[in-house]
Copies of this chain bind each other. A is one copy, B any other.
Amino acid sequence: MTLMIQPVILCGGAGTRLWPESRGDRAKQFLSLTGEQSLFRQTLARTPAGSDFLPPIILCGDSHVATVREQMDDREAELVVEPMPRNTAAAIALAVARADADTLLLVMPSDHVIADVPAFHAAIAKGARLAQQDWLVTFGITPDAPETGFGYIAGGGPLGEDGFAVDRFIEKPPLADAEAMLAAGGYSWNAGIFLFRAARMRDAMLTHCRAIFEAADRAVAAGMRDGDALYADAVEFEKAPSDSIDYAVMEKDDRVAVVPVAMGWSDLGSWQAVHTLAACDAIGNAATGDVFLHDSHGNLIRAGGKRVSLIGMSDIAVVVDGDDILIMPLKRCQDVRAAAKARE
């Protein structure tokens, strides 16, 4: 890779799918779920400063600024603070408004896992070539299961050896459709990772979602600088319609490319996903903290400073955080919001 690419790290999410650890100001991206480092730190480490990557633009909410600063570990970056959540299109518009026209922006969620970073970098190199040809590039995860929790991307004609023109985006499918796509091949999961020339995205936004870009652009112009942070202007930014970049731009544009990549990606979208990625003992237990297990297998236990003892339990999640103790079968972890809503 000879081009310089500027990472844009989307760090505005909160989310309760990993409640009780993820809640309030302690968002999922700041948690250490797959080892020592938080997901945010892992995301930063994936685009090391130096010959390939420029200092990143980090987009986050006001309540996350302190944690972002702490977890940046003195790495140079520009913080852009969203006064309120306005979804990914407006967040990316803030970065586009800040960036130089010809910079290639690599947009990444801050709360995903990528196990195979060299594969990611190889995909970035491919994507960069396409982005220079004014493709809006999305990275498509090669599916290994008929997941119904992700959107899918149907690849069209090949673009040399770098990727494919996107035929269409498919919303989270029913299981039968997911199975059919897995069997057919040529489909990818939409992981929300994008690469494009800043000016190209600016033009696309002005075409497809002008109100969003203009609000973000004015919010940057009227923003307040505090050291390395730019606080976008609230009055202006609030005018931005709330929409995802997928809906607002990618699905509408006719020059979108997908670079398929198998890189050990996970969005860690549930405690079950955390269990799947965690280091387990020989009988499938992933235990963090002071855990006693007797005749128990396939469990995820995060003891959170307490002492958890399991007898004869299988395939459950136990997550302790402060005074909260969550217990559920791993396969029921999509229902965690029920508890989060009742408790918060």
- A313 CB contact (under 8 Å) in B295, B309, B327: B327
- Report chain B residues within 8 Å CB of A342: 292, 294, 309
- Report chain B residues within 8 Å CB of A343: 292, 307, 309
Within residues 285 to 344 of chain A, which ones have a CB less than 8 A from any CB in chain B?
A: 292, 294-295, 303, 305-313, 316, 318, 320, 323-329, 332, 335-336, 338-339, 342-343
Does B312 lie within 8 Å of A328, measured CB to CB?
yes
Most buried by B among A20, A309, A339, A343: A309
- Report chain B residues within 8 Å CB of A335: 294-295, 311-312
- A327 CB contact (under 8 Å) in B308, B323, B338: B308
- Report chain B residues within 8 Å CB of A336: 311
Measured in the bound complex, the distance between the Cα atoms of B324 and A303 in whole Å is 10
Measured in the bound complex, the distance between the Cα atoms of B320 and A303 in whole Å is 13
User: Can you name the residue of chain B whose Cβ is closest to the Cβ of A333?
Assistant: B311
Measured in the bound complex, the distance between the Cα atoms of B318 and A292 in whole Å is 14
Distance to closest chain B CB from A212 (angstroms)? 37
Measured in the bound complex, the distance between the Cα atoms of B312 and A49 in whole Å is 46
- Report chain B residues within 8 Å CB of A303: 325
Does B306 lie within 8 Å of A339, measured CB to CB?
no
Does A327 lie within 8 Å of B307, measured CB to CB?
no
Measured in the bound complex, the distance between the Cα atoms of B306 and A326 in whole Å is 11
Does A332 lie within 8 Å of B311, measured CB to CB?
yes
Measured in the bound complex, the distance between the Cα atoms of B311 and A309 in whole Å is 19
Does B325 lie within 8 Å of A313, measured CB to CB?
no
User: Can you name the residue of chain B whose Cβ is closest to the Cβ of A291?
Assistant: B325
- Report chain B residues within 8 Å CB of A316: 313, 327
A168-203 Cβ-contact flags toward B at 8 Å (1 or 0): 000000000000000000000000000000000000
- Report chain B residues within 8 Å CB of A332: 295, 311-312
Does A338 lie within 8 Å of B325, measured CB to CB?
no
Measured in the bound complex, the distance between the Cα atoms of B170 and A42 in whole Å is 66
Does B306 lie within 8 Å of A338, measured CB to CB?
no
Does A311 lie within 8 Å of B292, measured CB to CB?
no
User: Can you name the residue of chain B whose Cβ is closest to the Cβ of A336?
Assistant: B311
- A311 CB contact (under 8 Å) in B307, B313, B323, B327: B327
- A325 CB contact (under 8 Å) in B294, B320, B339: B320
Measured in the bound complex, the distance between the Cα atoms of B343 and A310 in whole Å is 12
- Given A309-B325, A312-B329, 16 more pairs with CB closer than 8 A: A292-B343, A294-B335, A294-B338, A295-B332, A305-B323, A306-B323, A306-B324, A307-B323, A307-B324, A307-B343, A310-B328, A311-B326, A311-B328, A312-B335, A313-B327, A318-B327
Which residues from chain A sit less than 8 Å from chain B, CB to CB?
20, 292, 294-295, 303, 305-313, 316, 318, 320, 323-329, 332, 335-336, 338-339, 342-343
